[in-house]
Structure 1
Amino acid sequence: MAFQDLLNQAGSMGRYQILQMAFLLICNVVVTPHTILENFTAAIPGHRCWVHILDNDTVSDSDSGTLSQDDLLRISIPLDSNLRPDKCRRFVQPQWHLLHLNGTFSNVTEPDTEPCVDGWVYDQSTFLSTTVTEVWEETNLHMCFTSNGHHWDLCSFGSHLLHLLLTSLPERVIEWTSPKFKALVTTLTMCAYSFGSIVMAGLAFAFRNWHHLQLVMSVPIFFFLIPTRWMSESARWLIVNNKPQKGLQELRKVACRNGVKNSGDALTMEVVRTTMREELEATQTKTSLSDLFRTPNLRKRVFLLCLLRFSTAISFFGFSIHLQHLKSNVFLMQCLYSSVSIPVCVAAVFLLNHIGRRISQLFFCFLFGITILATVFVPEGMQTLRVVLITLAGANSAVMTSNNIIHSQELLPTVIRARALGVIGTAGNVGAAVAPVLMTLTMYSASLPWIIYGVISILAGFVPLLLPETKNKPLPDSIQDVENEWKGSRHTNEEGAIIKVTPF
C-alpha cells in the first residue's frame, strides 16, 4: 500500500486526474447506455395474427360489408385470459355469430383456432421496427412469452467490443487518485451513465427504426479509441508487475502535468525501490489466475464479490432491460429514472464517505428490492404511484451498481486486480444472462419474475456485511497486503481483548 506515498508526490488530484476523469465521463455518456439499449431496439410491440379478412389489401368493402375494424377483429381473433385479442392464435374461420352475442358466451361451442401461420401484424405506434419483429419475420418463429429477443449485426458486435475495452478505463482513473476521491470518481461515472441514458431515450424517441438507432448510438464509440493512446498506464500496476522504470516514467509524466516542481529530484528510482520494496520483492513470483484462490482472505473476498455481483446483476438487468413490461411509457420512464439517478448518485457520495461502503450497499439493495416489490403489488390504475416507484427503483439501481464497483476495486490487490475484476465481471455477466431468462416465468405469473428480482436484491444486501470496510483506506498492492490486513485486524482484536482483561 506504499504506492500512495509516491502518488502524493506526483499529485493525487490535479490537472491530470481532472482531464482523465473528463475523458472517462464523456466515454461513459456514449458507451454505457448500450447495456440497456435493447429496451428500444429489442422491444416487443403489440401484435396479433395476420388474418385475410382484416389485413389483405385486396379484400373489398363488399366482402366484409360495413363492419368496423373492431368488429372484424372480434370475429377473427379469440380473446385471451385477460379478455384482450390473443397474440398467438386466430380463428380458423370467421366467427360471425360473435357479433350478436352481446357479451354472453353461454351455450356456444368453442370455435376452432390455429397458430399464426401467415405471420403477424405489429403495432407501429411506438416502434416502426425492432430486432424482435425482424427475427420473427425472417425465421417465421414467434416466442409467445415476454422475453427480450437478441439480434446481432456487425455494428452491434463492434460497439459491444469497444464497450468492453472502454469500460476498463475507470480502473485506471481509480488507481491514480487518493482514497478520499475514489467514491467521487466512481459516482461521477454513474452520473455520466445516467446522463447518457437520458440522451439515449431522446434519440430512441426520434429514431423509431432499430437500425437507425443502433447506428446513431454505435458510430461515435469508434472515435473514442484514438485518444486512449495518450492516457497514462497505471504506474501502480507497472511497479507491482516488476516494471519500476516504466512506472517511474508515468509518475514523472503525471507530476509534470499536475505542475509539481522538482519532481525529478523527489521521484527517483531509488525512492521507488525503497518505497515499494516489499511489493517489488513480491513480483519475483509471477501471479496467475489461480492465485486468487490460494490464500484464505483473498479467496473469501473474490467469492463474496462474485456472489454480490451475480445477485445485483440479476436484479439490475432484470429491471433495466424490461422496462417495457411494466406497462408504462418506456421513453418517459427511462428519462425519468435516469434524471433522478444523477442527484441520488451525488447524494450517495456523502453517504459512502460517512457510513461506509458496507452499510451503504445494504441500504440501497434493500431499497431497490422493496421498490420493485411495491411496484408489483400496486394496482395498474394507480399509475402515478407506479411511476414514482419505478423512478425510485431505477435511481437505486444506479447507486447500487456504483457502490458495488467501488467496494470491489478497493478490496482487490493491484498485482492481480485486473484478473480478479475479470472473474467478478464474468459472474456479473452470468447474472445478466439469467435476468431475461427469468422473464419466461411470466407464463405462470406476470408478477413472479419481478418478485424474484426484488427478493434477490434484498438478500444481496447482506453480502457486503461479510466483507471488510474500505472507507478512506489505501488500495492493497499485493496479495500479501490483503493477508496482512486480515492478520492485522485479528491481532488488533486480540490485543484489545488483552487490554480489557489486564486491569482485572
Structure 2
Amino acid sequence: MAFSELLDIVGGLGRFQALQTVALVAPILWVTSHSMIENFSATVPSHRCWVSLLDNNTAQVSVPKVLDPGTLLTISIPPGPNNEPHRCRRFRQPQWQLLNTNTTATNWSEAATEPCLDGWVYDHSTFTSTIVTKGSPILMSSVLLLSHQWDLVCDSQALKPMAQFIYLAGMLVGAAVYGPASDRFGRKLVLTWSYLQMAVLSTATAFAPTFPVYCLLRFLLACALVGVMMNTATLLIEWTSAQARVLVMTLNALGFSFGQVLVTAVAYGVRDWNLLQLLISAPSFLCFVYSWWLPESARWLLTTGRLERGLHELQRVAAINGKRTAGDTLTIDVLLSAMQEDLSMNQAPSSLGSLLHTPELRLRTCLSTLCWFAFGFTFYGLVMDMQGLGSNIFLLQGLVGVVDIPAKIGSLLLLGCLGRRPLQALSLMLSGLCILGNVLVPHELGALRSALAILGLGCMGTAFTCITIYCGELFPTVLRMRAVGLGQMAARGGSCLGPLVRLLGTHRPALPLLIYGTVPVLIGLAALLLPETRNLPLPDTIEDLQNQAVKKATQSSQGHTVLHSTRL
C-alpha cells in the first residue's frame, strides 16, 4: 500500500478537495493583482514642465486676460515629438515673439531652454494619481497620510523599470528561500506565514513615504507571493488523486487569469493608486485567518516521519469527505506498513544537490527548469509593459486575462488527450511562433500585431498550466518543493531578464520580439525529451522514479519483442 492508496481510503476527490481548492485558489486572484498592479499604479501620464504663467495663480494677474491657456503654453513650453508640448524642457523666459504670426515655432531651438526645475504638471484624466505623479491624501483612522511626489519622469524615468526589476528579483529570492523552507517546515506553515507577509507588506506599500521604501516593500512582498504560489500548487497536488489532479491544477491556473481581469476591473473603478493598493491588499488578511483551518500535507508528514500528525490529518480529511469509518481503520501500524519504504529512504537527507543524484533526475531537473524559464522570460517580458502595447491599458490587460481563460480550460482537455509532454512542447512552440509572426507584420497593422501578441500570451498560459502540473509529477515528494522552488527561481530569473531585453529595441526594433519568440520555440523542442507522467502515481522517493523508469524500459522492450515476433 502506498500513499495514493491511503488517499483513496480517505477520499482523493470529495468535499474536502472542493473546499480546499476554493480556499487556496481564491488568494491567487490577489497574488496576480499585486503582480499586474503596476500596469495601472505606475502608468506614466502625459506631462509638461510647471511654468509660472500657467500654473501660478498669483502670476496670472500680470498676464493680459486676452491670452488663452493655449497661447501661454506656446510661449512657455517648446514643442516636442509629434508637435506636442515638450515633456522635459521649458523656456527660460516667455518667448513672446512666438505670438507674431510671421514667427514659426521651429525657431524655438534658438531660444534658451532648461529642465523642469519646479516640477511637472500631469494629466489626471485617466488616473488621479500614480506612483509616477504626486499621490492624493488618504484618510485612515483619523490620521491624514500624504503620499510624496516622486516624479518618475524625464531624468528619473529609469526608476520605473528599476522598480519592476526589484519586484521580480524579490520573486527570485522568494523561490530560493521558500522552496527549501517548505520541505523543512511544512507546506501549511510557510503558506500561512506568506499570507500574513503578503497582507502586511501590501498594505504598507500604499503608505510608502519614499520611492526606495516603496521598492523595498515590493521586494519583500514579491518574496511572499512566491511562497503563496508554490505552496498552493503543492498542497493541491499532494491532497488530490491522480485522476483529479489536472482539474484542480487547471483551476489553480485559472486563478491567475481571473486575477488579471479582477485587477483591471478594480483599477477601472479606482483611479487613485493608494486606494487601489489598499483594496487589493485587504483580502489577504482574511486568507491568513482561514489558512489555520487548512490541513498540512499528509504526504509530507508521513515521508518526513511525523506519523501521528499525518494520521490525524488523514482522519480529519476522511471525516470531511464523509468517510469517517474508513478513516478510523487507519492506525500507526497501517501507516508504517504503507510508508515503510518511503520512511526508510527518508533517513538520507534531501538537498538541492539531490536533484542531480541520478541521470533521470538530472534530465528532469534541467528540462523542467528550462520550461519554467521560458514562461517567465517571455510572459513577463511582454505583459509588464502593457502601456507600450497600446493606449487603452484597461482593454489590453482585460483581453490578456480573458483569452487566458479558454486557453487554460482547453488545456484541461488536452492534458488528458495529448498528455503532459506533447502539450508542454506544443504550447511553448506555438507561443514563440505567434510572437515571431509579429516580426513579419507591419507596424501599421496594429490590430493584427496585438492579436498575435495576445494569442501568444494565451498559449503561454497553457504552458504555465502544464508546467505547474508536470513539475509536481516529475519529482518525488521528498524533493518536490525543492524542484518547484528551483523552477520558480528559473521563472523569476527569466522574468528579471525579460524586461531588460526591451532595451535592445533602441538598436534594432525587431530584436526583442525575435528573442522573445525564439527562446520558447527552442525550449519547447527540448521538452520533448521529458518522460510522460499521465495517469502515473506521484513518486514519493528517488527509488520510485527508478522503478518507473525500469518498468517503462521493460514494457518498451516487450513491445519491440512482440512487434518483431509479429513481423516474423
The TM tier, using the shorter chain, reads: 0.7 to 0.9
Conservation of the 8 A alpha-carbon contact between 1:175 and 1:236: yes
Equivalent-residue separation in structure 2 for 1:441 and 1:119 (angstroms):
30
Q: 1:108 to 1:287 in 2, by over 3 A?
A: closer
What's the counterpart of residue 177 of structure 1?
Answer: 240
1:9 aligns with 2:22: no
Q: 1:374 to 1:89 in 2, by over 3 A?
A: farther
Letter in 2 for 1:195: F
Aligned residue runs from structure 1 range 94-173, under 5 A: 94=94, 100=101, 111-133=111-133, 137=150, 142-144=155-157, 148=161, 150=163, 155-156=204-205, 157=217, 160=222, 162-167=224-229, 168-173=231-236
What's the counterpart of residue 483 of structure 1?
Answer: 546
1:37 aligns with 2:37: yes
Query: Any unmatched runs of 5+ in structure 2?
Result: 135-147, 165-200, 206-216
For each residue in 1:144-174, what CA deviation from the matched residue of structure 2 results, as whole angstroms up to 9, or x when unmatched? 4695353987623475565344321221111
Conservation of the 8 A alpha-carbon contact between 1:313 and 1:432: yes
Aligned residue runs from structure 1 range 356-435, under 5 A: 356-374=419-437, 378=441, 382=445, 384-435=447-498
Give 1:478 deviation, angstroms: 1.0
Conservation of the 8 A alpha-carbon contact between 1:119 and 1:140: no
Give 1:210 deviation, angstroms: 0.8
Conservation of the 8 A alpha-carbon contact between 1:145 and 1:442: no
Deviates more, 1:264-273 or 1:195-204: 264-273
What's the counterpart of residue 46 of structure 2?
Answer: 46
Letter in 2 for 1:122: Y
Deviates more, 1:474-483 or 1:95-104: 95-104
Query: Any unmatched runs of 5+ in structure 1?
Result: none
Conservation of the 8 A alpha-carbon contact between 1:76 and 1:91: yes
Cα RMSD after superposing both structures? 3.3
Conservation of the 8 A alpha-carbon contact between 1:43 and 1:148: no
Q: 1:345 aligns with which of 408, 417, 434?
A: 408
Aligned residue runs from structure 1 range 59-458, under 5 A: 59-60=59-60, 63=63, 66=66, 68-80=68-80, 83-94=83-94, 100=101, 111-133=111-133, 137=150, 142-144=155-157, 148=161, 150=163, 155-156=204-205, 157=217, 160=222, 162-167=224-229, 168-260=231-323, 262-264=325-327, 266-374=329-437, 378=441, 382=445, 384-444=447-507, 448-458=511-521
For each residue in 1:3-62, what CA deviation from the matched residue of structure 2 results, as whole angstroms up to 9, or x when unmatched? 212211211101111111111222223333211111111222222333444444344376
SS of residue paired to 1:469:
coil
For each residue in 1:223-242, what CA deviation from the matched residue of structure 2 results, as whole angstroms up to 9, or x when unmatched? 11111111111111111112
Equivalent-residue separation in structure 2 for 1:84 and 1:308 (angstroms):
44
The normalised TM-score by structure 2 is 0.79
Conservation of the 8 A alpha-carbon contact between 1:162 and 1:221: no
Give 1:254 deviation, angstroms: 1.4
Letter in 2 for 1:404: I
Equivalent-residue separation in structure 2 for 1:52 and 1:291 (angstroms):
67
Deviates more, 1:428-437 or 1:178-187: 428-437
Give 1:111 deviation, angstroms: 4.8
Conservation of the 8 A alpha-carbon contact between 1:145 and 1:440: no
What's the counterpart of residue 461 of structure 1?
Answer: 524
The normalised TM-score by structure 1 is 0.88
Give 1:248 deviation, angstroms: 2.4
Give 1:110 deviation, angstroms: 5.2
Conservation of the 8 A alpha-carbon contact between 1:333 and 1:390: no
Equivalent-residue separation in structure 1 for 2:247 and 2:419 (angstroms):
13
Conservation of the 8 A alpha-carbon contact between 1:7 and 1:176: yes
For each residue in 1:288-332, what CA deviation from the matched residue of structure 2 results, as whole angstroms up to 9, or x when unmatched? 232122222212222222222122102111222211111231112
For each residue in 1:414-465, what CA deviation from the matched residue of structure 2 results, as whole angstroms up to 9, or x when unmatched? 1121122122212222222222333334444555434433333333322321
Letter in 2 for 1:11: G
Deviates more, 1:299-308 or 1:176-185: 299-308
Q: 1:471 aligns with which of 521, 524, 534?
A: 534
